[in-house]
Amino acid sequence: MTAKRITEVLQKKAVGITINPYQMMLQQLDLARVHTSIPDGIWKILRSPERSLEVSIPIIRDDGEIEVFTGYRVQYSSARGPCKGGIRYHPGVTLDEVKALAGWMTWKCAVANVPYGGAKGGVVCDPTRLSEREVERLTRCYTARILPIIGPKQDIPAPDVNTNASIMNWIVDTASQLRGEAVPGIVTGKSIELGGALGRVEATGRGVMFITIGVLQRLGIDLSHATIAVQGFGNAGSVAARLLSKQGGKVVGLSDISGGYYCSEGFDVDDVVRYVKGSPGHLLAGYNASGIEEITNEELFTLDVDVLIPAALEAQITSQNAARVRANVIIEAANGPTTPEADVILAENEIVVVPDILANAGGVVCSYFEWVQNIQCLPWEEEETNQRLGKVMQRALREVLDLSKERNISLRLAAFVLGVERVAQAAILRGVFL
C-alpha cells in the first residue's frame, strides 16, 4: 500500500470511530514501512509484541473488603536488549493501550540509540480513590504477579502516569524480599537513597527542553521571542515549562484535566509549580494571578503560539481539532498525543511535529543512566547526568532531522524509520529462534 493510499484510508477512518492506541501505533508503523526495505518476515515480527501478560491483583482494602484489580505487562521487543518501560495506574488502562505504549517505547529506545527493547505496564485503577496503604498493597501484589518476567537483565519498569519513586521503592523491596537478594536495578526512577539517579525526576521535561531549543534553532526561531503552551502539567509538562521559561521562553498557556489558563505576558512558572504542589489533587484548578484568564483544554490547542507541548495522555490532537491548531511547532512530551489522521491535517497546514519517540525520550535515556549506575555500583553527579542527557538528545535530534531531509519525509516518519530500521537490523542479526 502506498503512502498516499494509507493516508486516504486514515482520513476515511477518522470520522466517528473510537481511537484504539494499538491500532494507531500500527498505522504509524505501516506509514513508515513505505520508506524502508525491511523484509516481509521481519516486518511481521515488528508488528507483534513478544509477550503480553494479564494478571489479577487481589488486595484487602482498609475496610477489610477484598477487591480484585487487573494489571498488564507487555514486552514488545527485546531485539536490542532488555525491555524497558513504565508502569501507569489509571482507570482507562487497557491491554491495547499498554501494547501501544510498549511499541512506542521500542522505537523510542532505538531512536535514542540506547541498548534497550520496549515494554510497558499498567493497572486498571484510580489511585486517587485508594489510600497510601492500599496503593502499597496493590503495588506489592502486582510486583509479585509480574516478577517472573522482570529483572535487571530482562525487563526494567519505571514510573509513568500516577506512579512515582515511592511505588518504584515498593517494587524494589518486594522483588528483593521474594528473590532473597538486593535487586536495585530491577526498576528505575527510585529514590536516590535506594539507587536512583540524580536528575531522573526532571529528565523527560529536560529532554523536551533540549529538543525544543534544537528545533527552534533549526527553524531560525529565537527562544527568547517564542511563546509556548503546555497541555498537561504533570511531571513532564511542568518541568518542560519551567526549564524553557528559565531559558527565556514565554509560557502563555497551561492546562490539565481540571482546566486551563492563558496569560499573554507569560506565567511565573515557578509560582504555578508551587501552587500545584499544594493544591487538591495537585491540579491547576483555583490558581489565581494577575493577568490570567481561564480557558479550556480545547481552547489551549487553538492558541496562536510558536510551540505547543501536549504533555498529557494519548490521542489529544485528533481529526476533530487538528485544523484549529495554530502553533508553528508541536513537541510531543506525551506518548501518542497526535493521531495519524491529525498528522495529515497538521502536515497540510505546515505545522512541524516533533514526535513523542524523539521528544520525550529523555526519561528513558536517564533511566538507562540509572541502570548503568546500579550495575556499576557507581553513582554520578547530577551535572554529569544532565550533560550526558543533552548529548544523547541532541544527537538523536540531529539524526532524525538529517534523515527527514535526506528522504524528504516528516520528522515522525523519519523517527519511526530510524527506530524501526535499527530494531529490524538487530532482529536480522539475531535470526529467528527455532
Catalytic residues: 120
Pairing of strands 66-77, 118-124: antiparallel
Quote the cell numbers at residue 158.
519505571
Pairing of strands 66-77, 259-262: unpaired
Q: What is the 3-state secondary structure (H, E, C) of the chain?
A: CCHHHHHHHHHHHCCCCCCCHHHHHHHHHHHHHCCCCCCHHHHHHHCCCCEEEEEEEEEECCCCCEEEEEEEEEEEECCCCCEEEEEEEECCCCHHHHHHHHHHHHHHHHHHCCCCCEEEEEEECCHHHCCHHHHHHHHHHHHHHHHHHCECCCEEEEECCCCCHHHHHHHHHHHHHHHCCCCHHHCCCCCHHHCCCCCCCCHHHHHHHHHHHHHHHHHCCCHHHCEEEEECCCHHHHHHHHHHHHCCCEEEEEEECCEEEECCCCCCHHHHHHHHHHCHHHCCCCCCCCCCEEECHHHHHCCCCCEEEECCCCCCECCCCHHHCCCCEEECCCCCCECHHHHHHHHHCCCEEECHHHHCCHHHHHHHHHHHHHHHCCCCCHHHHHHHHHHHHHHHHHHHHHHHHHHCCCHHHHHHHHHHHHHHHHHHHHCCCC
Which residue is listed with cell 510531543?
332
